[in-house]
Chains A and B, each alone.
Chain A
């Protein structure tokens, strides 16, 4: 393999993989036509690709499916358990909040009449002040 082949091999590879531009494809094909050594390399690459394709499948160990099924079942059981725990926690939080809010609400309801009386008395203050002011003026006069 000479320097020219070394330069052309990546181009040939790109062309074979279908990702070369038009110019690279043309150059690769022209070189291949004239170079026996590179044609041999392409054949060897093809053998390697074929061998990899054939060697990709390796029989899974015995009991693979049973172990997978067990894992799937465990996972589903775990999901249900997680779901149950999460629902229980949510229900507990809701109940606790409701209880706390219920007590507060009861306090609010219980204090409500006092608030009303307070509000009414506050609203009558300006009238009372006006009345006192009027009394003072009348006395002075």
Chain B
């Protein structure tokens, strides 16, 4: 059954339909929140808040305007960015960035195994760490574009910023990741 049908059933009062939607998206939403916030407890709290708000505002969801997944991701991203603003993350981000650079150097030295799979797993781990060192907006743009496969226009709508800013963050974010991965020999 597709998402729109599940939403319809949920609006008719079928609670199991909402459970099914939660099951479908919980890992993605939690992953998104964790990537953006970098804190497991806060990520779980925000992911749950996103589902709670989705449940409360289900009548506002219009399948003709976009998919349920995009709608839920938009809710999550905005909640995460608000949480980051509340925590005054700008400052924290700079501190984290320095710490991550140190960890990354250590990881780079260890990354010597010839196994392809190991390389891929290692690269993924490093990318996760590198993502957390990016500015929250760059991180959000990269996750929405490549993780959620949203278009640049959609991302601009979600983040309520001009399309030009999204393009710039995307380019810079991807370049930063590429250079850092190169530095540690994972590309």
- Spell out A's residues near B (CB within 8 Å): 9-10, 13-14, 17-19, 41, 44-45, 47-61, 64-65, 67-69, 71-72, 75
- Spell out B's residues near A (CB within 8 Å): 19, 22-23, 26-32, 34-35, 40, 44, 47-48, 51-52, 55-56, 120, 123-124, 127-128, 131, 142-143, 145-149, 151-152, 163, 167, 170-171, 174-175, 177-178, 181-182, 187
**Given A61-B40, A72-B55, 7 further pairs, Cβ under 8 A:** A10-B171, A13-B170, A14-B171, A44-B178, A48-B178, A55-B35, A60-B27
Q: Hey, which chain B residues are within 8 Å of A51, CB to CB?
A: 120, 123-124, 127
Contact between B127 and A52, CB atoms less than 8 A apart: yes
**A53-B147, A60-B27 in contact; A41/B178 too (CB < 8 A)?**
yes
Contact between B148 and A56, CB atoms less than 8 A apart: yes
CA distance A41 to B149 in the complex (A): 21
In the assembled complex, 26 residue pairs joining A and B whose CB atoms fall closer than 8 Å, in A order, are: A13-B171, A14-B167, A17-B152, A19-B167, A41-B178, A45-B174, A48-B174, A49-B146, A49-B174, A51-B124, A52-B131, A52-B143, A53-B149, A55-B124, A55-B147, A56-B28, A56-B35, A56-B148, A58-B30, A59-B30, A60-B47, A65-B19, A65-B22, A67-B44, A68-B48, A75-B56
Instruction: Give the secondary structure class of A's interface.
Output: helix
Chain B's nearest CB lies how many Å from the CB of A89?
22
**A48-B178, A58-B27, A58-B30 in contact; A68/B52 too (CB < 8 A)?**
yes
Chain B's nearest CB lies how many Å from the CB of A90?
22
Contact between A71 and B48, CB atoms less than 8 A apart: yes
Q: Hey, which chain A residues are within 8 Å of B31, CB to CB?
A: 55-58
